[in-house]
Structure 1
Amino acid sequence: MPKITRPDDAQPARALWFDRKKYVTINFMVQKSKDLVVDIQDHKMILSCKTDDDINIYNEIYFYDKIQKFDSRERRYDRTINVLLRKVKENVAWPRLTKDTEKPSWMAVDFDNWRDWEQEENEGMAEYEHYMDMLQDMSKKGQAPAMDDLDDLDFITTVVSCCPAELKLENGGKKEKVKGFNVILTDTVLFPEGGGQPDDRGWIGSVPVLRVTRQGSEAVHFVESALEVGSEARLKVDWERRFDHMQQHSGQHLVTALADAMFGYKTTSWELGRQRSTIELDTPAVKPGEMEALEEAVNQKIRDHTPVTVQLLSLDDPAVEKVRSRGLPDDHAGPIRIIDIEGVDANMCCGTHVSNLSHLQVIKILGTEKGKKNKTNLIFLVGNRVLKYAEKGYSTERSLTSLLKTGADDHVEAVDKLQKSVKVLQKNNLNLLRDMAVLIAQNFKNNPSRGKFFCLHRKDGDNEFMNIIANEIGTEDTVVFLTVGDEKGMGLFLLTGPVVIVEELGPRVAELLEGKGAGKKGRFQGKANRMVRRGEAESLLQEHIRHRSAEEE
């Protein structure tokens, strides 16, 4: 935005500032707040508006220190604008807002009105407390919290009930039962799972919340420690998880709306995954170039700083019929919540969302794949996930460059050459193994002192290698026990010989190797899960053959 000098008759807007341990707050008193644009960045705040002559006027106010811009907010009233700035360095006092106190501005920074938390002056605290009350008012009982505007501010509530419960939690890929308590609070800022979005995590005091589910109009919080009914509870959101879900969910609304508007592809379902998200489109296939065009369109909406607002409507409001919806759940209670992306989409939704598409940062459509029932799955990433994806890709690229000794542009060609070389080597290796199998069998047969039992283990063999040896030796009066694979891991086994012996000992050998096998006509073979017990199986076979030989004599 070009910087334009303010008109001579422009009056500076008065501002009150309050420095707190975690936040700096500001209250601007302006003539027409609706015309004012506030852009909060890491190190500065850009303010702009238009005069009655439609002239843009603009100002930058630099911050004393860096802030967390995604945890900062601005809210408008008729004649005032309140701004909440979250400090990166908590418990560090700001002696002033900007380091450049000499810079002229049409937005007056009145340092006589500064309030310092270290001194805790009474004067001005009422203004600050009123401002904080305004933030808390968003989630009083009877009105659904505006999920897009709640960050990790502490939220005070009350414990209504606490009942013993069990929950299945995933631990290392396995689900295990955890004993704990289901807690219901007077109100909550933790989102219960639903609408395609996973639930929030957070803390009630110092107790972690491990799951949040919905029962009718109530949110049920699962915790491992009991909480006293009627006690005050300080609730805090896991903001990193919350903001990630906000980005993915708002991104899904945007992709869904533009896929429909541009190509007529309706969304039938979606999934917010742990690493990537999927939208199911009601089309058997997409045409070449459509996903590239869709990606460009959604990112343009992000660059346009498109606002996202939340509306609460009663069920009988005529406006409800104009919004996109897949229907309400049977146990729905309370007002209808509408997520409105300005000029793009209005949709019923209970999930958490950003307040402006610029907070999405970027959307990357990774591609599409064939879905169920003539549907197409669109795979996408939003915001911080795109950054992590790029970082991981670059790390992989550097590793491949080091291993392949080629630049990134030549990786595919280099891997293709390696794969072809490996195939040739594998074929040569198999031919050598076959020849070796024949030689091993012939060497045994030509040994005049050979017995009635042959045993062999080879790490790099396979089923064909074992079958060649068994067929060459013959199994009418000889028991052949062969194994291949890692001696301390998994592998394959083959037991051949007289039908009576194989039928009796085959299952016992499989049991010793903790594997599975199948037998037919004097041959029992299968997989071994613990090759390390191969010696025990060999001893079992030798002992059985000695007893059998002694009985025959």
Structure 2
Amino acid sequence: MTKKLFWEDPYLSTFTSSVISVEENENWPGKFLVVLDETGFYPEGGGQPWDEGNIGDGYVSYVFIKDGVIYHVVDQDPGKGAIQKCRIDWDRRFDFMQQHLGQHILSSVFEKHHNAETVGFHLGTETVTIDLTMDSISDEELQKVELEANNQIYKNLKVQSLFPSVEGLKELPLRKQPTTDEDIRIIEIKDYDYSPCGGTHPAYTGEVGMVKVRKWEKVRGNIRIEFACGLRALKDFIWKNQQINSISALLSLKDVEAYEGTERIYRELRDLNKKYNQQSRLLLEYQVKEYHREAEEYQGISLVSLVFEDKDMKQLQTLAAALNQYPNTVALLAAKGDKAQVVFTRSKDLSLDISKLFKEVIGLIDGKGGGNPITAQGGGDNVANLQGLMDAAVIKLKHEYVK
């Protein structure tokens, strides 16, 4: 059993310890599993990530516990039996301490004011979430929870670890029951919350700084709250404040007017897009009529053969779909760009195989693609020979397909 210094003093960032064992493991090639007689490194568990840092000159990248023994994954062999100086990445540790105690406070407020149980907790390096037994929550309710949680922080309540007996445990007003019968540790936020937990936490709620809810969503019948505490909350505010100031300056509005201004521009843009699409459809109808009117007539077939400089594949497909609605029509369409794009199509009343014609000429632009007897499409890199492909397709169509 490894002695847990992080339970005795969560602020311990440097310590010395004896190396009990060192072994290699195939799960971590090139690294070593190190066991110390006592450790300040917190192992992954209870929703909280592991500590990182150094044992001697070796970097500790992962820490886990198994059967009471805490294992440190280190990139250098510290030497069995050696007494090594150890250092914990304090910024990482204190960040997790702030987030974890903030979670206790937030969960307690939800339990007290909404009778909502916390059934899930995730503490990551970027986000923190809790899952609650609630169907939904209003903005007003969420703001009240947030204010209450921060009020408990501002009271600077004492936080301490309790290791009660079985009888003593029964007398505590626990927010949730422990999941084990042994080595039970209770985190007490004085006169406010009692919760079993093996994680690390600050000594006073004031050290959490603040709790800020970022958003919520429905997840499998519950709601998931994403939040940030302490320095994370400050960093979240910094970038959002920069964004809102930039948007306000761009719109020449006050920061409190930025949303209304953005919403107004969004509505205007939506209306303009609607008008643009309507005009585009009218223009397309006109263009299609002109293309068909100017088509070459060959043995009763209207042959449209066009190469564009200003259209993409989607636009070619739209034109092709409109042209093949005309009876007795074949449309051979192409566009020049970074690549050559080609779409061949015919009206349904014709029996010639467009896919076969397409496959016979697509190699002229080092291209590929395919389709069916009515429509085929594809592209190639040899843009310079695109006109040659189109000329070859017209010749083949007239002499081999139209009889």
* TM-score of the superposed pair, with normalisation by structure 1: 0.59
2:97 paired residue number: 246
2:227 paired residue number: 380
Whether the aligned pair in 1 keeps the contact of 2:355 and 2:376 (CA below 8 Å) is yes
The answer to whether structure 1 residue 417 and structure 2 residue 264 are counterparts is yes
Q: Deviations over 1:369-399 (max 9, x none)?
A: 32312x1223322111221122112111221
Whether the aligned pair in 2 keeps the contact of 1:312 and 1:335 (CA below 8 Å) is yes
Alpha-carbon distance between aligned partners in 2 of 1:153 and 1:451, rounded to the nearest angstrom: 83
Q: Deviations over 1:71-127 (max 9, x none)?
A: xxxxxxxxxxxxxxxxxxxxxxxxxxxxxxxxxxxxxxxxxxxxxxxxxxxxxxxxx
- Which amino acid is 2:41 matched to? L
Alpha-carbon distance between aligned partners in 2 of 1:267 and 1:228, rounded to the nearest angstrom: 43
1:536 is displaced (CA, Å) by: 9.2
1:236 is displaced (CA, Å) by: 1.5
Q: Secondary structure at the match of 2:14?
A: coil
Q: Secondary structure at the match of 1:145?
A: helix
1:237 is displaced (CA, Å) by: 1.3
2:254 paired residue number: 407
Cα 1:544/1:239, change in 2 over 3 Å: farther
Q: Secondary structure at the match of 1:208?
A: strand
Q: Secondary structure at the match of 2:185?
A: strand
1:216 paired residue number: 67
Give the counterpart of 1:433 among 270, 280, 285.
280
1:344 paired residue number: 192
2:375 paired residue number: 523
Alpha-carbon distance between aligned partners in 2 of 1:199 and 1:444, rounded to the nearest angstrom: 68
1:252 is displaced (CA, Å) by: 0.8
2:34 paired residue number: 184
Cα 1:143/1:271, change in 2 over 3 Å: closer
Whether the aligned pair in 1 keeps the contact of 2:4 and 2:40 (CA below 8 Å) is no
- Which amino acid is 1:371 matched to? V
Q: Deviations over 1:504-526 (max 9, x none)?
A: 868x98xx9999x995552357x
1:145 paired residue number: 6
Q: Secondary structure at the match of 2:198?
A: coil
Equivalent runs, 1:1-400 vs 2, <5 Å: 141-143=2-4, 145-146=6-7, 149-158=10-19, 160-166=21-27, 179-186=29-36, 187-286=38-137, 289-313=140-164, 317-321=166-170, 322=172, 323-325=174-176, 327-328=178-179, 335-373=183-221, 375-400=222-247
1:157 is displaced (CA, Å) by: 3.8
- Which amino acid is 2:243 matched to? T
- Which amino acid is 2:333 matched to? V
Alpha-carbon distance between aligned partners in 2 of 1:532 and 1:421, rounded to the nearest angstrom: 40
1:406 is displaced (CA, Å) by: 1.5
Alpha-carbon distance between aligned partners in 2 of 1:505 and 1:148, rounded to the nearest angstrom: 76
Whether the aligned pair in 2 keeps the contact of 1:193 and 1:199 (CA below 8 Å) is yes
Whether the aligned pair in 1 keeps the contact of 2:23 and 2:32 (CA below 8 Å) is yes
Alpha-carbon distance between aligned partners in 2 of 1:207 and 1:521, rounded to the nearest angstrom: 67
Whether the aligned pair in 1 keeps the contact of 2:4 and 2:39 (CA below 8 Å) is no
Alpha-carbon distance between aligned partners in 2 of 1:218 and 1:429, rounded to the nearest angstrom: 68
* Residues 304-313 or 151-160, more deviating: 151-160
Whether the aligned pair in 2 keeps the contact of 1:434 and 1:468 (CA below 8 Å) is no
- Which amino acid is 1:180 matched to? G
Identity of aligned residues (%): 20
Alpha-carbon distance between aligned partners in 1 of 2:80 and 2:386, rounded to the nearest angstrom: 65
Alpha-carbon distance between aligned partners in 2 of 1:272 and 1:260, rounded to the nearest angstrom: 19
Equivalent runs, 1:450-469 vs 2, <5 Å: 453-456=305-308, 458=310, 463=314, 466-469=317-320
Alpha-carbon distance between aligned partners in 2 of 1:548 and 1:147, rounded to the nearest angstrom: 87
1:82 paired residue number: none
Alpha-carbon distance between aligned partners in 1 of 2:109 and 2:122, rounded to the nearest angstrom: 18
1:86 paired residue number: none
Q: Secondary structure at the match of 1:347?
A: strand
Q: Secondary structure at the match of 1:471?
A: helix
What are the ranges of 5 or more consecutive residues in structure 2 without an aligned counterpart?
Answer: none
Q: Secondary structure at the match of 2:31?
A: strand
* TM-score of the superposed pair, with normalisation by structure 2: 0.78
Alpha-carbon distance between aligned partners in 1 of 2:22 and 2:158, rounded to the nearest angstrom: 38
Q: Secondary structure at the match of 1:340?
A: strand
Number of residue-to-residue matches in the alignment: 384
Q: Secondary structure at the match of 2:70?
A: strand
- Which amino acid is 2:259 matched to? V
1:211 is displaced (CA, Å) by: 2.4
Whether the aligned pair in 2 keeps the contact of 1:466 and 1:482 (CA below 8 Å) is no
What are the ranges of 5 or more consecutive residues in structure 1 without an aligned counterpart?
Answer: 1-139, 168-178
* Residues 226-235 or 405-414, more deviating: 226-235
Whether the aligned pair in 2 keeps the contact of 1:479 and 1:495 (CA below 8 Å) is yes
Q: Secondary structure at the match of 2:265?
A: helix
Q: Secondary structure at the match of 2:39?
A: coil
Cα 1:552/1:407, change in 2 over 3 Å: same
Whether the aligned pair in 2 keeps the contact of 1:482 and 1:495 (CA below 8 Å) is no
Alpha-carbon distance between aligned partners in 1 of 2:228 and 2:78, rounded to the nearest angstrom: 38
Alpha-carbon distance between aligned partners in 1 of 2:159 and 2:166, rounded to the nearest angstrom: 21
Whether the aligned pair in 1 keeps the contact of 2:357 and 2:397 (CA below 8 Å) is no
Q: Secondary structure at the match of 1:209?
A: strand
Alpha-carbon distance between aligned partners in 2 of 1:166 and 1:456, rounded to the nearest angstrom: 58
1:190 is displaced (CA, Å) by: 1.9
Higher relative contact order (CA 8 A, sep 6+): 2
1:124 paired residue number: none
Q: Secondary structure at the match of 1:149?
A: coil
Whether the aligned pair in 1 keeps the contact of 2:13 and 2:40 (CA below 8 Å) is no
**Structure number having the greater helix percentage:** 2
